[in-house]
Amino acid sequence: MSSGMFAGTAWDREPHCERCDQVESACTCPPMESQPTWIPPEKQTARLSVEKRAKGKVATIVRGLDPTESDLVALLKQLKTTVGAGGTISDATIEVQGDQLERVRKALVALGYRVKG
């Protein structure tokens, strides 16, 4: 079968398995392991604080987002870009270097999160 030539056949209307490329009704793949379902930002409340770190440094902390239901890695990446600072994730906490409270707050609000603190 050449691809692209016969777009719109009945075969294409049914969703296909991404792994075996069968239509889902014919797919025999085992179920996907815990496919993440993210909670939308507007249903989550981030709690912000600025905390002291070693050697007189401070960090802006984002808590309250469920790590299993939020894409914290993507969020941190976005925050680092928006705020222009480094950052890390430990457990369920995002930590952005420096006192970035207002910038982090604005960035989170812009993404749709509710923010406290």
- Which residues contribute to the site for Zn ion (CB under 5 A)? 17, 19-20, 27, 29
CB closer to Zn ion out of 30 and 36: 30
CB closer to Zn ion out of 29 and 109: 29
> Is the Cβ–Cβ distance between 48 and 94 less than 8 Å?
no
Ranked by CB distance to Zn ion, the top (closest) residue is: 17
Position 93: which residue type? T
Would you list the DSSP string of 5-62? TTTT-HHHHSPBPTTT-SBTTT--PPPPS----PPPGGG-EEEEEEEE-GGG-EEEEE
CB closer to Zn ion out of 19 and 43: 19
Smallest separation (angstroms) from Zn ion to the CB of 30: 9
Smallest separation (angstroms) from Zn ion to the CB of 19: 5
